[in-house]
Structure 1
Amino acid sequence: MNFHELKTMDERLELMRTLSKKFITKAHQVDIEGSFPFENIQDLKDSGYTSLTIPRENGGKGISLYEFIRLQEIIAEGDGATALSIGWHMGILLNLGEKKPWKESVFKYICEKVMKGSLINSAATEPKTGSPTRGGRPETTACKNGSNWVINGGKTFTTMSPVLDYFIVSATIKDSNEIGNFLIPRSTKGVEIKETWDSIALRGTGSHDLILQNVVIPDEYFVDQVRPEGKKANGWLLHIPACYLGIAKAARQYAIQFAKEYTPNSIVGPIIDLPNVQQKLGEIELKLMQAEYILYGVAKQWEQSDDQARDKMGPALGAAKLTVTNTAISVVDLSMRIVGAKSLSLQNPLQRYYRDVRAGLHNPPMDDMTIQLLAKHSIANHNH
């Protein structure tokens, strides 16, 4: 079945649930090996999912931000690493279609490639700059040479690197103070992936290092200039909390199933009948409801807003990410308390969920930056 053939969002959500069930069966193996979910990504390509966020005029479905995060959440219920990986590709295309920062010819070219199965992600983080959201200048350089650019440098956390066909690389332009984004095809000479990813969280994202040595690209692949002072709000980054919400829901699912089946001889019947277990399940439900309401609410607000209103949504987007991610951590913790010591067994998915949700704290925007942003927002809007 293909996503593009389905008429409604509900049908697409249902198809994703079917795919997600397949992902669950492979998640443990990928995690233990620290390998990459090649089959999952291939399934998403074959189903037409990877082109859903491309605008309709470019051959995609132009799905809404709300639908995108709902689909991402379902992927994460099956495998968080697969969800976060493909979420970057999907979100970047959604953002490029919305804001149109690139030359039309280059965007059209990328859309055509994605329609045929190509994958794209940005590579912005470097060892010395830390997260690009904190404003560090890239040490990767771009130097003009005739009608070409020569790129040299390296990037860390290049998620989905084993299967990417295109990289959007930020680089400092030599002889100027500017920072630019450059489109680099994987097939370009001098592009190398160094397998360094050894995180204990989201082990299957293949977030290795990207090494660029005298990489020559045409002038048209200087796709846009980075303007830190005019950073626009990015609705598409809600795919990050959506991933962690999905992982938290998988933890709840496991905890309920366990509680229904576990019957120690010290009590009559399964532990799901115990008041203390039901108390924790009630708390989990409450937390998930709160997370859903802020995540879905902000996504829908984004859809209903014009460009001017969207630019003011930074505080709301940051608040959604902070709330959902921290709530997800707390939900996994409560699920582990229900299951007990068994949740720490390597064979138990809860210990993987526990490690995976922690990664959300280190995805942008970071909690401290969000709190600071909310404080400034509060002060700016204070009326005497």
Structure 2
Amino acid sequence: MTITNETNRIADGDRVRTHQAAAPVPFVDFDEPMLERFRAAAAIDDRDNTFFDSTHAELAGAGYYTANLPSAVGGGGLNMLEMGRRQRRLATYAPAPALATCMHLYWTGAAADFHRLGESSLDHVIDGALDGEIYSSGHAETGNDVPVVLSTTDAEPVDGGYRITGRKLFSSLGPIWTRNGFHSMDSSDPDAPMIIHGFLHRDDPGVTIVENWDTIAMRSSQSHDVVLDSVFVPDERVASVVPAGSGEDPVTGTAFLWALALVCNVYVGIAERALELAIASLHAKTSIGLGGRTLATSPMLQYQVADMWIALDGVRSSLDMIATDWGDGVAHDPEWELRIVGAKQRTSDMVRFVVDTAMDVAGGSSIRNDNEMSRLLRDSRAAAYHAPAAAIAHTGIGAALLSTEPAGPSR
């Protein structure tokens, strides 16, 4: 997947969009009472496997769903670094809502970047978000371990657009999304299959949301399946059409970078909270073996705390640098994809290590269901299941560095 600072500047054609939201909701940053409400609701929503309604309402009222849109059109004007840090902070209080909102914010972030470049092909996302539309992701599929560039969902070309048939998994914000960014495959020419990237509407005939989200992790994200039965998507809602297997698409390349940058920051937030809880537990407990001193004075536990911080800070710094370089236009081409995929893999490894170690440090009480640490443990497990999976990440990076195809050396 090609990712460049100029977003490859795809041809604009004659499309011109205007932004006429009557009263955009101004962005209001988090305050501590708001975040504590989120944390209290997160525990209840996780226990009951319910959507984060109250947190969503507050986020919407604070302009969070338009926070990374350009301020000139009524958004909050946050760039990738600023948005990522807020997702990280939100995740320390409410991991599942933070993860779920990523699926909206990566589309608005990509649209904002395109808009700043004078490219209007995603301006309809800006318009929609300003009008209160909620975007979700329609990329995960059964039997497809290389999402976005290939698809098990069928796109049948018809007059004026496509008919989409298939099933999408893990579509977060299940109860509230109104727009779904999807991809599917047009195989009408078997010798030249094409990947269609576009946007579904929740009320399109043939769209069925299957409320089947019951997991151990990220429960309140309510990432239900979406069944598509010959759903008509008009040409004006098609963002790009590219050859199957090709990563040469600036729309999905930019969205991919935003998605992984935000998702990774969620898991950094989980690790930060786990470390915070572990440190608090060591200060709260005394030891007979240490002469009544707190466990914070134990050299071995100090070593474990340091080990967690070192792992966490390395990933946190890497993500901040990626976002800073993206915003500053640093020319990492063609390594942008390698950098963000590598960051995702490091994040996945790090959050498991930090949370597992924090559980050890905090002691047996952390396995209780009513202990926040046990929820962080469960939520941290989800990091491994965001694309690309570890095997795909390592194969792709290795093949790129060795100038071979993933299936073997090029000839």
Report the TM-score when normalising by structure 1: 0.87
Residue 169 (structure 1) aligns with:
182
Instruction: Write the letter of the residue equivalent to 1:220.
Output: E
- Confirm or deny that 1:274 pairs with 2:298: yes
Residues 1:241 and 1:42: Cα distance change in structure 2 (over 3 Å): same
Q: Distance in 1 between matches of 2:27 and 2:43?
A: 32
Kindly report which structure 2 residues correspond to 1:1-384, keeping only aligned pairs within 5 A, or say none.
4=26, 12=29, 15=30, 18-99=33-114, 107-132=122-147, 135-138=149-152, 140-173=153-186, 175-176=188-189, 177-227=193-243, 228-231=245-248, 232=253, 234-236=256-258, 237-263=260-286, 267-305=291-329, 309-379=332-402
Partners in 2 of 1:131 and 1:318 — Cα distance?
A: 13
Count of residues paired in the alignment = 368
Shift of 1:335: 0.9
Q: Which amino acid aligns with 1:195?
A: E
Q: 1:173 to 1:94 in 2, by over 3 A?
A: same
For residues 177-208 of structure 1, what are the alpha-carbon distances to aligned partners after superposition, in whole Å with 9 as ceiling and x for unaligned? 21202211112222211011222121121111
Q: 1:104 to 1:66 in 2, by over 3 A?
A: closer
SS of 2:122's partner is helix
Query: 1:147-203 CA distances to partner (integer Å, 9 max, x unpaired)?
Result: 353322221111111110101221222523212022111122222110112221211
Q: Aligned with 1:193: secondary structure? A: strand
Q: Which amino acid aligns with 1:274?
A: S
Could you say what secondary structure the match of 1:36 adopts?
Answer: coil
**RCO (CA 8 Å, sep 6+): is it higher in 1 or 2?**
2
Label 1:361 to 1:17 Cα distance change in 2 as closer, same or farther (>3 A). farther
Q: 1 CA distance for matches of 2:161 and 2:400?
A: 43
User: Which segment drifts farther, 122-131 or 183-192?
Assistant: 122-131
- Higher alpha-carbon deviation: 167-176 or 355-364: 167-176
User: Which segment drifts farther, 122-131 or 315-324?
Assistant: 122-131
Alpha-carbon displacement from aligned partner over 1:284-332 (angstroms, at most 9, x marks no partner):
22222212221112221222235x6344312221221112221111111
Q: Which residue of 2 aligns with 1:9?
A: none
Contact 1:125 1:131 in 2 (8 A): no
Change (3 A) 1:71 1:16: farther
Query: CA–CA distance in 2 between the matches of 1:283 and 1:145?
Result: 57
Change (3 A) 1:172 1:3: same
CA–CA distance in structure 1, aligned partners of residues 220 and 26 of structure 2 = 27
The structure with the greater share of residues assigned to helix is: 1
Cα distance, 1:26 vs. partner? 1.5
Question: Identical aligned pairs, as a percentage?
Answer: 23
> Is the contact made by 2:338 and 2:397 (CA closer than 8 Å) also made in structure 1?
yes
Structure 2 gaps, min length 5: 1-23, 404-411
Query: Would you say the 8 A contact 1:106–1:221 is kept in 2?
Result: no
Match for 2:226: what amino acid?
L
Instruction: State the 1:282 CA deviation.
Output: 1.9
Closer/same/farther in 2, CA of residues 303 and 355 from structure 1, 3 Å limit: same
Q: 1:34 to 1:131 in 2, by over 3 A?
A: farther
| Distance (Å, rounded) in 1 between the aligned partners of 2:274 and 2:376 | 7
Report deviation, 1:122: 2.1
CA–CA distance in 1 between the matches of 2:171 and 2:354?
A: 28
Distance in 2 between the 1:38 and 1:310 partners? Answer: 41
Paired letter, 1:334: T
Distance 1:95 1:36, change over 3 A: same
**CA shift in 2, pair 1:275/1:132, >3 Å:** same
- State the alpha-carbon separation in 1 of the partners of residues 128 and 348 from structure 2: 33
Amino acid at match of 2:170: F
Distance 2:228 2:66 in 1: 27
The separation in 1 between residues aligned to 2:37 and 2:333, in whole angstroms, is 37
Aligned equivalents of 1:171, 1:335: Cα separation in 2: 41
Give, in angstroms, the shift of residue 81 of structure 1.
0.8
Task: Supply the distance in 2 between the matched residues of 1:174 and 1:376 (Cα, whole angstroms).
Answer: 27
Please give the alpha-carbon distance, in whole angstroms, between the structure 2 residues aligned to 1:321 and 1:145: 38
C-alpha RMSD of the superposition: 2.6
